[in-house]
């Protein structure tokens, strides 16, 4: 069974408390529960990590190198600021999907730049929390290619 790591960055632990127009009302725990159900159906095993700390996210990625075949990452604000997370993702040779709940290109100009995009296999943004399920299904399709 292929193993996938889902990583969420800062403030996503409080997703259900954020701007409802952008993020809706669902909690990240509920999203991950839905991902676990879909993962079972497509014969994937998923683990989930969240941190508000850039260094912890780098550690999650480094620890994933020998354990996981794919990473789905919503680095949140670190998407636009972290060369360290980008470099860690570049070292990870499994499949990688960058994920954003909102359409970062319809938001503030500083959110239009992603340090991660160059080192991932695909990007999903602007599809709301359904992006997590879409990313998981996409990972299922690309992981063996």
Catalytic site residue from 78, 100, 132, 140: 100
Note if 48 is an active site residue. Answer: no
Note if 100 is an active site residue. Answer: yes
Catalytic site residue from 23, 68, 78, 132: 23
Q: Are 58 and 115 in contact (CB under 8 A)?
A: no
Long-range contacts of 121-126 (CB under 8 A, 24+ apart): 121/95, 121/96, 121/97, 122/97, 122/98, 123/97, 123/98, 123/99, 124/97, 124/98, 124/99, 124/100, 125/98, 125/99, 125/100, 125/101, 126/100, 126/102
Cα distance between residue 43 and residue 46, in whole Å? 10
Which residues are catalytic, by number?
Answer: 23, 100
């Amino acid at each position: 069974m292929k193993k996938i790591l889902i990583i969420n960055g800062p403030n996503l632990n409080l997703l259900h408390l954020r701007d409802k127009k952008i993020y809706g009302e669902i909690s990240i725990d509920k999203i991950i529960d839905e991902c676990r159900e879909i993962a079972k159906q497509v014969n994937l095993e998923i683990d989930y990590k969240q941190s508000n700390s850039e260094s912890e996210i780098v550690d999650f990625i480094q620890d994933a190198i020998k354990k996981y075949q794919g990473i789905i990452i919503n680095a949140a604000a670190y998407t636009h600021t972290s060369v360290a997370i980008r470099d860690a993702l570049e070292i990870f040779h499994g499949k990688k999907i960058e994920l954003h709940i909102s359409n970062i290109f319809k938001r503030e100009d500083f959110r239009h730049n992603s340090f991660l995009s160059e080192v991932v296999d695909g990007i999903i943004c602007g599809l709301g929390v359904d992006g997590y399920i879409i990313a998981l299904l996409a990972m299922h399709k690309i992981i063996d290619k």
